[in-house]
Amino acid sequence: MPNDFSRAVIENNPAWAQLLGLCPLLAVSNTVANATGLALASAFVVIGSNTSISLLRRIIPDIARLPCFVLIIATFTTLTVMTLEAYAFDLYSRIALFVQIIVTNCMILGRAEVFASRQPVGRALRDAMGTAIGFAIALLTLGAVREILGQGTLMADMDMLFGPAAASMQVDVFSTPPLSLALLPPGAFLIAGLLFALVQGLNNRTRVAKDEPDATVTTERS
C-alpha cells in the first residue's frame, strides 16, 4: 500500500511504461516552460478528479460510471482552462488546445477506472500524485532536451508562468541551436523514442542485476 506512489511514478509511469497521454506530451514538450504548464495542469486534473471519484465512488452508479468519470474530469479540465486564461494568459495562448484535450487523456480516465473508483481516498490520492509526478518527469525531461537542442536555451519564458522575476531563470546553453529539428514534431518522436528506450534499457539492467543473485543460488543448489 505505501508504494502506490512510487509504483505510479516508475513502474506504471504513464509516459514510458504505459505510453499514455502521448499527444499532449509530444506536442507541448518543445520547451520547459510549456512542459511545466501542461504538467501542472495535468497534475491538477488527475489529482482533483481521482480524489473526487474516490470520494464519490459509493454514489456513482455502476451503469453510468464512465459518463460520471468524464463529467468530473471535464469539470476539472474546465476549471484549469479558466484559471490559466485568467492568470497565465500568455501561456494559455500557447498551450490552450492541449490543456483542453486533457479531458480525453486516457492516462487520467485509466487511473479513474482502474484505481480511484475502487480504492479509498488516501490510496487514490497517492496514486494520482504518483501518476502526475511521473507524467511531469517525462514532460520536463523531454522539454529540457528539446529546448536545449532546438533552441539552445533552458527554462526560457518561465515568466509566462511565474511572473517577471522568473525571466532570470533562463540559461543560455548554446549560442547556435545544434538541432533545430528537436523543436518540430519529428524531433519530438525521435527524442521521446530515444528517452523511452534509455529508460527501458536502465529498467532491464536493474531487473537483470536483481535476478542475478537468485540465479547464483539456484546454480549452487543444483
Contact segment (CB under 8 A) with other proteins among 56-64, 108-116, 133-141, 162-170 equals 56-64
Contacting other proteins within 16-45 (CB under 8 A): none
Shortest distance (Å) from residue 175 CB to other proteins: 25
Given the C-alpha cell 497565465, which residue does it identify? 88
Shortest distance (Å) from residue 215 CB to other proteins: 51
71 binds other proteins (CB under 8 A): yes
Q: Residue 59 or 165: which CB sits closer to other proteins?
A: 59
CA distances (Å), 122 to each of 31, 54, 94, 119, 127, in order?
33, 9, 35, 8, 9
159 binds other proteins (CB under 8 A): no
61 binds other proteins (CB under 8 A): yes
* Count, residues near other proteins per rule CB under 8 A: 20
Q: Judged by CB under 8 A, which of 1, 86, 165, 209 binds other proteins?
A: 86
Q: What does the longest C-alpha to C-alpha distance in the chain come to?
A: 69
The residues, any chain, with a CB within 8 Å of residue 133's CB and separated by 6 or more, are 8, 9, 43
Shortest distance (Å) from residue 189 CB to other proteins: 14
Shortest distance (Å) from residue 52 CB to other proteins: 8
* Interhelix angle 65-87/106-114, nearest 10 degrees: 140
Handedness of CA 143, 145, 147, 150 (dihedral sign): negative
The residues, any chain, with a CB within 8 Å of residue 185's CB and separated by 6 or more, are 26, 27
Q: Judged by CB under 8 A, which of 78, 153, 170, 203 binds other proteins?
A: 78
Shortest distance (Å) from residue 89 CB to other proteins: 4
101 binds other proteins (CB under 8 A): no
Closest to 27 (Cα-Cα) out of 135, 158, 156, 185: 185
66 binds other proteins (CB under 8 A): no
171 binds other proteins (CB under 8 A): no
| CA dihedral angle for residue 159, residue 163, residue 165, residue 170, rounded to 10 degrees | -10
89 binds other proteins (CB under 8 A): yes
Closest to 52 (Cα-Cα) out of 81, 84, 75, 80: 75
List residues binding other proteins (CB under 8 A). 56, 59-61, 63-64, 68, 71-72, 74-75, 78-79, 82-83, 85-87, 89, 93
